[in-house]
Chains A and B, each alone.
Chain A
């Protein structure tokens, strides 16, 4: 165990202490502490994740007239599971979880009888990188990790080496005498009930690559499974015979936390029900996560599916290939000494003529709205589909802003209509900034920069002329020099990033360019719609 102490009054230096073993009472000061600038590099280069999913279904018989006994039988059943993990007949199949189809190490079998539960963790002999042994007992976790790291430049839990473990029962274990089958019927002499209890276990462990995989199983995976089983057991116990909770573990890797965490949710409650919201809030609080970012929703959970076309991939699901985050990597604005403030999070680029829908000349604000809604979707604030033009018009008719004839028309909409739709479909409120002339916009840069820092949502620019989406500002407060990162919905080409960037459909626009032309027209008014980030988790 490691502990840390800091003196708030004096040096503010953090001191670390450790204990050698669980029972030890003495604390030792750790003298050498390395502060790594990129701790994630160290973590994922020297370690890997072990993943084990295990659905369990237990029949629990209990005397119908004696409820306390039902609980006792239930507890005994779960105890039996705990004991069974160490049964000699249990077989652990170890395999590499990888999207690659070639170069993956062969799965290895570890038999319960070979596992060592007694050696203390600190006494385990680590295996060097070049330890090669055909005996599965002495294979290290590194054996199951992929050698080439080149294709995975980002070191994170999602890209870590993952070793998958499956728990199975060997039903061909040799015994001295196998006797031919027999069926015996035993009637219950008193009234008895039968309850099937389900546990959906799923643990994720972090292990140094050098430890032998058999110890990773006996010292990490099995205790992890036991812990989780006990947690779930205790949740189910109070309402054993009345409620049937659907507990399901999810793994998350929220920003700022180096290792994944596991949360067990009760799926009988909807995600937006207050009960679940409160649970998420308290989890955010305990983990020190921001209280206005949905980070622990099920949609945020780590996805370990090995197929590339997982259902979470929205573009593939829709059968289209919308571009995401087109502003990443574009040329800089050229504002000397400017500070760049950008939206936070991903969006999809919606523009004219997409989905074979001809909206050229009137649909720019609709497209801008679609881009904004895609941002809310991708940040998991909402799970609604990005609405079509018609659905947007429908929403405006429903709230009484427009007549029924509006549906199917080619009428323009503006910033105010967008705010209505965002409120109706997402429950998102907006702030509006009006300027009577484009010349006033640079004055608003400070406010806009603040918006991007605090809210981080894409802004829609509407008004007397064309509609744009604003993704960021680059602003030098001293000189007043500024540039706007504009995503232009008027693009009519195909989803070709190069074409979009070279054509300036996504790029930095100075209010006055090198030729002296103004991007924002001085004789027109502008409405800026600033969607507010929902204060929710």
Chain B
């Protein structure tokens, strides 16, 4: 990517697009599932008829010889099914080149009669900008909520060209998968949808890559059109969290930037969240029954009571400071009506973690872009800290001053059939930015009416100056809790090591 011609754009988002990071950042959720869940392959795929017909019409009228883009939908392990909600074409890259083009051969006319395999390959094959497609996938994935993901790629091309380019398409899919890891399952599986124009035909292949590229790694599966989006169930959750991440002396050997600490904190929290119980519409989720009721379902997540997993097992450490990471994440997840309700819970959890992760990525992407010109430095960086580094790059161990990093707020934009996608807005950004993203990345018309955009999160408050002791002991603030009457004063325990206590008995005598 480094040698790609770049053009600095006004909103910084295009800048962001050029960077590809190691998207295969793995959370604990991934490895744990591996042992439990046998890998089941998707056997049948249903596409949303209303949307895909529209796309089909648009494609056949376009006269384009080739178009490549992303498949947005859901792969359901328990149902062995895939659902396709939408197809999103990958936009031209920064140099204005299409992500995918046909290479025409000079021998085209002469050899047409023989049609040997190798020559056919020369006749028409695809050129795909893999990195660009993967980057598009990464950014689209950020805009999707729980239960919806980039599940593969589609290609609109003649069947000859398709046949000649399967290996290349396979590579592209792999790149897309690496850019948008599905954390919740270990499914190394994506869809490849081929829309052939003469005759007009949709075919779907199931793509896996456990071994080397062989013919068996691209397996055809059933594809049909149907109603998918209208039967989706909507789940909503506002997740409030408050993490205290201690910064200790002993880890000074491997110095960590603020970004590293946050990344680690998020991945650590993901494990904790994985085991959280959930209440849906006031009822504890116990079984795996499907959800039958309509409407938006409220999800509440229950976490362990005062079990700070960030404070490691009893050992005295020298604390240099504490990183308080708190706020709320508004989350949505969509569930197919046949899926078990527990899936909605794990989709919501995944959405929360991905949302935190995406916001951190956005901050860091922008910070990378800003390293060069000083005047472009993020507002936080100029906030009294005498360094050119963006805040996310600060090494906390050496920092003797307070600093803060506000995460962008999440907003939800109406998408297809009453569903929403999301986007993130930095404090300086306006809804115009959001419109650009919708058009450019999701190939949709931007929202015309600002009132349809959900803005459940308010901007993070600016730094409230507190002392270390106030923050280190956040729940000790005596004012908020009425200590006193019911507090039992240090009941003495004889002998120190053990005590006998009769079980609390309630005895009623009449």
Name A residues whose Cβ lies closer than 8 Å to a Cβ of B: 2, 18, 30, 47, 49, 54-59, 61, 64, 73, 76-77, 79-84, 90-91, 93, 106-109, 117, 121, 126, 167-175, 177-189, 191-198, 203-208, 211, 219-220, 223-224, 226-228, 230-231, 233-235, 238, 241, 244, 251, 259-266, 269, 275, 279, 282-283, 286-287
| B504 & A57 in contact (Cβ 8 Å cutoff) | no
Determine which of A56, A108, A282 lies in contact with B305 in the assembled complex, contact meaning CB atoms within 8 Å. A56
What is the bound-complex CA distance between A197 and B307, given in angstroms? 10
By beta carbon, the residue of chain A nearest B397 is A187
Give, as a whole number of angstroms, the nearest-CB distance from A285 to chain B: 11
Determine which of A171, A203, A283 lies in contact with B504 in the assembled complex, contact meaning CB atoms within 8 Å. A203
What is the bound-complex CA distance between A8 and B505, given in angstroms? 29
Which residues on A sit within 8 Å (CB–CB) of B458? 177-180
Question: What mask results when residues 497 to 510 of chain B are scored 1 for a CB within 8 Å of chain A, else 0?
Answer: 11111111111110
Kindly state whether residue B405 has any CB partner on chain A within 8 Å: yes
| A84 & B500 in contact (Cβ 8 Å cutoff) | no
CB < 8 Å A-B pair total = 320
Instruction: Tell whether A192 pairs with B277 under 8 Å between CB atoms, given A58-B306, A172-B301, A234-B491.
Output: no
Instruction: Tell whether A262 pairs with B503 under 8 Å between CB atoms, given A107-B286, A181-B327, A194-B319.
Output: yes
Question: What mask results when residues 385 to 412 of chain B are scored 1 for a CB within 8 Å of chain A, else 0?
Answer: 0000000000010011111111111100
| B497 & A179 in contact (Cβ 8 Å cutoff) | no
Give, as a whole number of angstroms, the nearest-CB distance from B263 to chain A: 11
Which residues on B sit within 8 Å (CB–CB) of A174? 238
| A106 & B247 in contact (Cβ 8 Å cutoff) | no
- Please report the total number of B residues contacting A with Cβ < 8 Å: 108
| B321 & A188 in contact (Cβ 8 Å cutoff) | yes
Q: Can you name 18 A-B pairs with beta carbons within 8 Å?
A: A58-B311, A59-B472, A73-B473, A77-B476, A109-B279, A171-B276, A171-B302, A172-B279, A178-B328, A179-B327, A183-B404, A184-B324, A196-B308, A198-B313, A235-B497, A244-B314, A264-B499, A279-B498
By beta carbon, the residue of chain A nearest B241 is A171
Kindly state whether residue B325 has any CB partner on chain A within 8 Å: yes
Give, as a whole number of angstroms, the nearest-CB distance from A46 to chain B: 9
Determine which of A93, A172, A264 lies in contact with B239 in the assembled complex, contact meaning CB atoms within 8 Å. A172
| A171 & B240 in contact (Cβ 8 Å cutoff) | yes
Which residues on B sit within 8 Å (CB–CB) of A224? 503-504
| A168 & B327 in contact (Cβ 8 Å cutoff) | no
| A179 & B461 in contact (Cβ 8 Å cutoff) | yes
Kindly state whether residue B335 has any CB partner on chain A within 8 Å: no
Give, as a whole number of angstroms, the nearest-CB distance from A79 to chain B: 6
| B303 & A184 in contact (Cβ 8 Å cutoff) | no
Give, as a whole number of angstroms, the nearest-CB distance from B414 to chain A: 20
Instruction: Tell whether A171 pairs with B501 under 8 Å between CB atoms, given A180-B457, A188-B320.
Output: no
Kindly state whether residue B304 has any CB partner on chain A within 8 Å: yes
By beta carbon, the residue of chain B nearest A83 is B481
Which residues on B sit within 8 Å (CB–CB) of A196? 308, 311-315
Give, as a whole number of angstroms, the nearest-CB distance from B259 to chain A: 10
Which residues on B sit within 8 Å (CB–CB) of A263? 498-500
Max count, chain B CB within 10 A of own CB: residue among A18, A279, A286: A279
Determine which of A79, A177, A207, A264 lies in contact with B506 in the assembled complex, contact meaning CB atoms within 8 Å. A207
By beta carbon, the residue of chain B nearest A55 is B307
**Among B13-21, B152-160, B462-470, the stretch in contact with A:** B462-470
Determine which of A185, A193, A198, A208 lies in contact with B403 in the assembled complex, contact meaning CB atoms within 8 Å. A185
Supply 12 further A-B pairs (C-beta < 8 A) apart from A187-B402, A259-B502: A54-B305, A80-B475, A171-B239, A172-B237, A181-B356, A182-B326, A184-B325, A186-B471, A192-B468, A197-B314, A259-B503, A269-B497
